[in-house]
Amino acid sequence: MDDAERMQRWIDAVRGELDIPPNLTLDVPAVLDLARVAAHGVLRPAAPLTTFLAGLAAGRSGGSDDDIARAIARVVAIAPEAVVRDAPAQRPRE
């Protein structure tokens, strides 16, 4: 089993355990980029905490794909300048 398949199996297992609908888009690159921004711009332990908080905020806003994109964009916007400069743009969907 390669890394991509292992990751997908894990995501599927967690979705099932947490009753997250399979039709909700999981933008893995955006979430990993958010973790990178937090880890390199703040401290490594900030990565999981930041992704959790962004997910919590997205869920409290309704949990749609747009809510998730908006939460990620808001956190990236407050990240230290040097890290954000090298990150791909994260824009909320309209």
Domain limits of the chain?
27-85
Predicted local confidence at residue 93, as pLDDT: 45
Q: Which of 83, 85, 88 is nearest to 37 (CA)?
A: 83
CA 93 to chain centre: 15
Q: How far apart are CA 85 and CA 79, in angstroms?
A: 10
| Digit-coded pLDDT (tens) for 3-28 | 999 999 999 999 999 999 888 888 99
Q: How far apart are CA 42 and CA 76, in angstroms?
A: 12
Average pLDDT over residues 63-70: 92
Backbone φ and ψ of 19, nearest 5° = 55, 45
Global pTM reads 0.77
Q: Is the pLDDT of residue 53 over 50?
A: yes
